[in-house]
A = this chain, B = another copy of it.
Amino acid sequence: MEFYQCDLRLLDHVAAVRDIALGAVGVVGATVVGEAFHHFSPQGVSGTVVIAESHLSVHTWPEARYVAVDIFTCGGLDPRPGLEYLYRQLRAGSCRMQEIVRGLPDDVEGEVLPSDVLVMSRLGEPVRFAD
């Protein structure tokens, strides 16, 4: 997931980014088993949360008001509720999501098609989530 035009004030604060990351873990119903967060100099935060269902990662580029998030899940856990949560918490102006199939050969042998990428909105177009 890419989040654009995010609230600049959030992206350089490790505590704020960590709270949002852990909030997203909760929204998708995952269980935290480990975490690591780091603040970069002069700016930016990277963090990972190991969950029982795999992991979540977050990287912020305050200078670009851009945040990249991965939610890697297994066991039938749906990461998509995290998209809206993160979009709202980061006060993003637009976002983009790619869904990548991973796993054993029976799961991944097929070609990746353009339709595998769900573009929620493009820059400058506000996202409308279902009510």
Q: Tell me if B109 and A122 are in contact (CB < 8 A).
A: yes
In the complex, A42 has a CB within 8 A of chain B? no
Chain A residues within 8 Å of chain B by Cβ, number: 43
Q: Provide a sorted-by-A list of 8 A–B residue pairs whose CB atoms are within 8 angstroms.
A: A36-B49, A40-B52, A46-B51, A47-B50, A48-B49, A48-B50, A105-B122, A112-B117
Expressed in whole angstroms, the Cα–Cα distance for A35 and B59 within the complex equals 15
Closest to A107 in B: B2
Q: Tell me if A57 and B55 are in contact (CB < 8 A).
A: yes
In the complex, A89 has a CB within 8 A of chain B? no
Contact of A96 among B52, B108, B116, B123 (CB under 8 A): B108
In the complex, A66 has a CB within 8 A of chain B? yes
Closest to A37 in B: B34
In the complex, A100 has a CB within 8 A of chain B? yes
Expressed in whole angstroms, the Cα–Cα distance for A105 and B57 within the complex equals 20
In the complex, A130 has a CB within 8 A of chain B? no
Q: Tell me if B108 and A116 are in contact (CB < 8 A).
A: no
A56 to chain B, nearest CB (A): 9
Which residues of chain B are near A74, meaning CB under 8 Å?
Answer: 59
